[in-house]
Chain A
Amino acid sequence: MPNETVNSRPVVRSGIASALLPGLGQILLGERYRGAGILLGFLLILATTLWYGKPVWYVSPLLIWLWNVWDAVSLAGGRKRSILLPLFFGLAAAYGIGWQVVEIDFSKADMDRAMAILRPMVRPDFVQTRREVNQMWVPVQVPCSSEPPAARREDAGRIATVIPDCGGVGETLIVTVSGMWPNAGMNIFWQNPIGNPLMLGEGEITMLTLTSDENGSITTTIRVPTTALVAAPDPTLPQFHRIYFEQYRPTGGYELSFIGSEVLKGALATIAMALLATGLAMVFAVPLSFLAARNLMSGNPLTYAVYVVVRTLLNILRSIESLIIAIVFVVIVGLGPFAGMLALALHSVAALGKLYSEVIEGIDPGPIEAIRATGANWLQVVRYAVIPQIIPPFTAFTIYRWDINVRSATVIGLVGGGGIGFLLIELIRVNNMRGVSAVFIAIAVIVIALDYISAKLRERLV
């Protein structure tokens, strides 16, 4: 083609320009946005790979740089290249590095452990069948003294005996109990002198459960638990331990379990924290929002300065999660819902202050002008022209914030802020997954119910 020679100079020039600074050649050819985009993308990827520091990934910025030169040369020849290629290089590096940085490793996802966690969650610990208990115990001396007293106890027609009368750790004892409920399951466990229960079943980690005969008797052999003397100050000193026999039978109906009542308390605390925090936040946010409203405050330099300061403070506070604020309050007032409530309130002041001030900024200026024209002062303008316009949206935003605060209140306990989150983390620590399951159900019920209520209330306001 005849014009190829004519074009060769810009081709070389833009190629060199882009080789020196990615995007520069494109900019020189008049493609300003394309050039700026290439430069920005290149720098971003370069910074990321340099920061991560694994040389493999330097390939990505290199390829982008090569493409960029090629693109500049093509562009000088009048042909635009698709940006899919560098986009692919960039994203491949970003996701590849991300994958390693986030330590994503699905082989670590142990399904057996997941099942062990999930299986108890199918049966949330919320209610239990109401039942009565038939409990019996017998003392036994460990380790043996020279003259151990008889290991035998009678109580309300029930007799429990142990042969021999005493034993050392790991020794076998023959245990007999009679007069219990007939043909019923019975839990047998050990209790050391300070009152801690120890298991007697397989490997000393499961409960030994047997069934009584038609006379309500059981005879079995047990071994003194290997951990029986772990807590003893002097393991050679004979002490009285106890063997417990427990039978349960349902008496009809259901009752709240212990965890269930804790969950209810946590749920109540969560809702209460959110309610109080929202109320408190509203009280502070309303006056602040007037100071943060541009249309009211841009009158003179002094008020404008106040506007800027208040706005900035609200913005900073708003970007600090309530969870982080909670840490400060936990230090000041200690663990518990009060700290969580204060944190939610402080964060909400910022969030509500911003929303309120936007409402004020969006009001119809007509009435303000009219009231001002009557010679009213600033306060009168606010009272007669501003307030009547802002009550409904303020209420709607407050209810909305309450809804959000309930959601946040479920997690604020995770850092010691009280409420159901605190219970959750405690239950997880002791591996009580049935309790965790109850907490999860409670959270879903609270959040969905409040979501619904707040949506209904706001609908009525509009």
Chain B
Amino acid sequence: MPIARIARNTLLTALVIAAFVVSYRVTEADFPRLFRDLAKGKDLLTAFLTPDVFTRDVETRTVSIVFPIPCGSAPTESLLPSEGPRLVPSVLCAAPLETFTLQGFDLQPNSEVVIRWRLPDGRTMTAIRTETDANGYFTYEVQARPIQSTVDGVASRLEVDTLTPVGGLKPSQALKDVMDNMFVTIFMALLSTTLATVIAAPLSFLAASNITRKGCLGTAVYYLFRSFFNLMRSYDPLVMATVFGFWLSFGPFPGFLALTVVTIASLGKLFSEAVENIDAGPVEALNATGAPPLHVVRYGVVPQIVPDFISYIIYHWDINVRISTIIGFVGGGGIGYYLNLSINDFKWNQAGTAIWAIVIVVWAMDFLSSEIRKRLT
């Protein structure tokens, strides 16, 4: 007896271990790579943690000098100023690939600095971004490149922009866009939950065994709806949204439809269970008074299920807000779409704003829905 148990337990343990080993290989798990490349995620996380919420107006001041490459191809800067915002290169001209030092004096203190080349044809090449110290000073090693060579006697210029924030904080464009998209997201959840409720509530009676499962036809209807609900429920709304997005092209509308379809199934199942769990006594009592069938439902069934229904509806609104924040990834609109765009454009700070907005809204909905549901029971 104990041997059989030990054998069984060993076998079970071996099976579980085997399952994990297979899973490890199938998922191509590569933990060394995770730790090696963790640094790649650092920039991302830093950007996410510093969302683009507020901006200040930026004042840009530009100073520039002529810098011929190679020497003699064009006249150099004749006289460098000795006071005021100014640029001082270690040499006044250079051969291609030669390195020299560029210094800036008396620029805007503690400001962002953009150093760039303005090529003879007017195009620009940004060399580096750096910052000035408290005295408005910076220094930087610049390499002259062949592409910056003088063309037809017109030399390239070195330009330096100092960017100084002025005025008070104001909401950034990203914040405004995020709020607009969040507005769409919340409405998408609201409308899909409402439409799903309107459709699921009557259908749920057809999938409730105590109401429908009578006679041949009734049993067939019961199984039909029950399996429809179970099948549709197994799809994540995002999976549904891929097909709806393919059908109706991008936008909140396909996302709304996908959410609605899955919510109908999910609510239909929950509703039908609530209907199945009602107390049969009042129904019997109303039948005994000679009430017509519709009235038996209205006075005997509906009052028993309304609190459960409301609780499920609020619960699903909560879930749907959560899902509609990400449904934009696969074709639905709203904040998920915005987040996807930001990520594809490598605008991580902007993505961070969207993520924080999602966290806040999801959190608030979670709190609200659980508070309301607590009150209901």
Question: Which residues from chain A sit less than 8 Å from chain B, CB to CB?
Answer: 51-52, 94-95, 97-99, 101-105, 108-110, 113-114, 117, 268-269, 271-273, 275-276, 279, 315-316, 319-321, 323-324, 327-329, 331-333, 336-338, 340-342, 407-408, 410-411, 414-415, 418, 421, 424-425, 428, 431, 436, 440, 443-444, 447-448, 451
Instruction: Give the contacting residue for A102; candidates B29, B188, B235, B359; CB below 8 A.
Output: B188
The CA of A94 and the CA of B186, in the complex, are separated in Å by 11
Instruction: Give the contacting residue for B362; candidates A110, A268, A319, A337; CB below 8 A.
Output: A319
Instruction: Give the contacting residue for A336; candidates B22, B28, B230; CB below 8 A.
Output: B28
Contact partners of B19 in chain A: CB under 8 A: 275
CB 8 Å contact bits of B239-266 with A (1 = contact, 0 = none)? 1001100111001110010000000000
Instruction: Give the contacting residue for A337; candidates B26, B34, B355; CB below 8 A.
Output: B26
User: Given known contacts A102-B256, A316-B359, A332-B37, is B27 in contact with A414 (CB within 8 Å)?
Assistant: no
- Most chain A beta-carbon contacts within 10 A, residue among B33, B238, B330: B238
Contact partners of B236 in chain A: CB under 8 A: 407-408, 410-411
Contact partners of A428 in chain B: CB under 8 A: 242-243, 246
Q: Does B210 contact A (CB under 8 A)?
A: no
Determine whether the beta carbon of A102 is less than 8 Å from that of B44: no
Determine whether the beta carbon of B366 is less than 8 Å from that of A319: yes
Determine whether the beta carbon of B246 is less than 8 Å from that of A117: yes
Q: Does B24 contact A (CB under 8 A)?
A: yes
Nearest CB on A from B6, distance (A): 20
Q: Does B316 contact A (CB under 8 A)?
A: no
The CA of A338 and the CA of B26, in the complex, are separated in Å by 9
The CA of A376 and the CA of B141, in the complex, are separated in Å by 66
Q: What are 27 of the A-B contact pairs (CB < 8 Å)?
A: A95-B194, A98-B187, A102-B187, A102-B253, A103-B252, A104-B191, A271-B23, A272-B23, A272-B26, A273-B23, A315-B363, A316-B359, A316-B363, A323-B329, A324-B339, A328-B41, A331-B40, A331-B44, A332-B40, A332-B44, A337-B27, A411-B236, A414-B330, A428-B242, A428-B246, A440-B235, A447-B235
| Sample of 14 further A-B pairs with CB below 8 A, known A101-B183, A104-B253, A268-B26 | A95-B194, A103-B253, A110-B248, A114-B247, A117-B246, A319-B363, A320-B355, A323-B238, A338-B29, A407-B236, A410-B236, A424-B239, A443-B234, A443-B239
Nearest CB on A from B264, distance (A): 16
Q: Does B200 contact A (CB under 8 A)?
A: no
Which 3 pairs from chain A and chain B are nearest by CB? A272-B23, A447-B234, A98-B187
User: Given known contacts A338-B29, A408-B236, A443-B234, is B355 in contact with A324 (CB within 8 Å)?
Assistant: yes
Contact partners of A421 in chain B: CB under 8 A: 238-239
The interface on chain B, measured as residues whose beta carbon lies within 8 A of the other chain's beta carbons, has a size of 56
Q: Does B326 contact A (CB under 8 A)?
A: yes
Contact partners of A51 in chain B: CB under 8 A: 183
Determine whether the beta carbon of B239 is less than 8 Å from that of A410: yes
Contact partners of B329 in chain A: CB under 8 A: 323, 414-415
Q: Does B115 contact A (CB under 8 A)?
A: no
Q: Does B38 contact A (CB under 8 A)?
A: yes
Determine whether the beta carbon of B238 is less than 8 Å from that of A411: yes
- Most chain B beta-carbon contacts within 10 A, residue among A268, A320, A407, A411: A411
Q: Is the interface of A mostly helix, strand, loop or mixed?
A: helix
Contact partners of A319 in chain B: CB under 8 A: 358-359, 362-363, 366
Contact partners of B26 in chain A: CB under 8 A: 268-269, 272-273, 337
The CA of A328 and the CA of B343, in the complex, are separated in Å by 10
The CA of A324 and the CA of B19, in the complex, are separated in Å by 27
User: Given known contacts A101-B184, A407-B236, A443-B234, is B27 in contact with A269 (CB within 8 Å)?
Assistant: yes
The CA of A388 and the CA of B365, in the complex, are separated in Å by 35
Nearest CB on B from A284, distance (A): 14
Determine whether the beta carbon of B358 is less than 8 Å from that of A320: yes
Q: Does B322 contact A (CB under 8 A)?
A: yes
Contact partners of B51 in chain A: CB under 8 A: none
Q: Does B7 contact A (CB under 8 A)?
A: no
Determine whether the beta carbon of A275 is less than 8 Å from that of B333: no
Nearest CB on B from A310, distance (A): 17
Nearest CB on A from B359, distance (A): 5
